[in-house]
């Protein structure tokens, strides 16, 4: 593991993302968000789209976990779903590329196994993160050879609909950490400093925190709802 990636160990990665329908959708704003995250102590950034990543790289010298979110008709997979998105990311070379590693089929019926084999052949030096929703998916991604295993999709798929990453003192995370060979990155509904610290104590390599830091409309909503009649 190179020195830049090793700096993520035990530390905070901030997800700086804003989709087209969100108020802060702007590569310029995401670049400044990354600067703010670095100033606050983040050691890495997770970001969406080639354009945002390029701006973030111009603003901070931190390792980036890159994704492209794109919807395809008739397909539930939207995080780096096809080679098109990977090729876009390779133009800006994020240190890690993350992709949906659930059991769901990708566009045109492509399986995760076939897709990942192609990626490894095309880009053998690239580091890959598996965004998983269940223990079984995480262990399968681990066997496939993903460099990092993430809990990103827990609760977001039919298979994990009733699961929550933080349930029972992060039981899902604890099982993945205990059984996986590759480093595990905790992500998803980790919305307090206490939770972030806990996942590291439980053996996560790093922790990704997003909306509670970088989506002010959701932060504001929590305050407003607390004051509602």
- pLDDT values of the chain reduced to their tens digit, one per residue, 229 residues: 788 899 999 999 999 999 999 999 999 999 999 999 999 999 999 999 999 999 999 999 999 999 999 999 999 999 999 999 999 999 999 999 999 999 999 999 999 999 999 999 999 999 999 999 999 999 999 999 999 999 999 999 999 999 999 999 999 999 999 999 999 999 999 999 999 999 999 999 999 999 999 999 999 999 999 999 6
CATH fit for domain 3-226, picks 2.40.30.10, 3.20.20.70, 2.60.40.790, 3.50.50.60:
3.20.20.70
110-113 contacts: CB < 8 A, separation 24 or more?
A: 110/82, 112/140, 112/141, 112/144, 113/144
Within 13 Å and on the Cβ side, how many CA atoms surround 111?
A: 7
- The whole-number pLDDT of residue 1 equals 77
User: Helix, strand, coil proportions of the chain in percent (round to 5)?
Assistant: 45, 15, 40
- The whole-number pLDDT of residue 202 equals 98
Strand ranges (E), the chain: 12-16, 44-48, 64-67, 96-100, 127-131, 148-150, 184-187, 206-209
Closest to 188 (Cα-Cα) out of 69, 13, 4, 10: 13
Specify the pTM. Answer: 0.97
Q: What sign results for the dihedral spanned by CA atoms 153, 127, 3, 93?
A: negative
Instruction: Please report, for the chain, the start and end positions of each structural domain, with discontinuous segments joined by +.
Output: 3-226
């Amino acid at each position: 593991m190179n020195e830049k990636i090793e700096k993520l160990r035990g530390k905070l990665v901030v997800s700086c993302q804003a989709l087209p329908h969100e108020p802060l959708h702007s590569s310029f704003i995401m670049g400044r968000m990354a600067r703010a995250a670095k100033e606050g102590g983040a050691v890495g950034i997770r970001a969406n789209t080639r354009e945002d990543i390029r701006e973030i790289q111009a603003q901070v010298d931190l390792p980036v976990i890159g994704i492209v979110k794109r919807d395809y008709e008739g397909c539930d997979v939207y995080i780096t779903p096809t080679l098109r998105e990977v090729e876009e990311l390779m133009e800006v070379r994020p240190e890690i590329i993350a992709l949906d590693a659930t059991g769901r089929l990708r566009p045109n019926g492509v399986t995760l196994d076939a897709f990942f084999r192609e990626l490894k052949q095309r880009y053998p030096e690239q580091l890959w993160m598996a965004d998983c929703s269940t223990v079984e998916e995480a262990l399968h991604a681990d066997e496939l050879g993903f460099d990092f295993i993430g809990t990103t999709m827990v609760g977001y798929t039919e298979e994990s609909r009733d699961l929550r990453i933080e349930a029972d003192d992060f039981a899902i995370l604890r099982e993945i950490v205990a059984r996986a060979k590759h480093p595990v990155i905790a992500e998803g509904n980790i919305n307090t400093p206490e939770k972030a610290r806990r996942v590291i104590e439980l053996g996560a390599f790093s922790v990704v925190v997003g909306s509670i830091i970088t989506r002010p409309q959701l932060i504001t909503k929590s305050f407003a709802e607390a004051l509602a009649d």
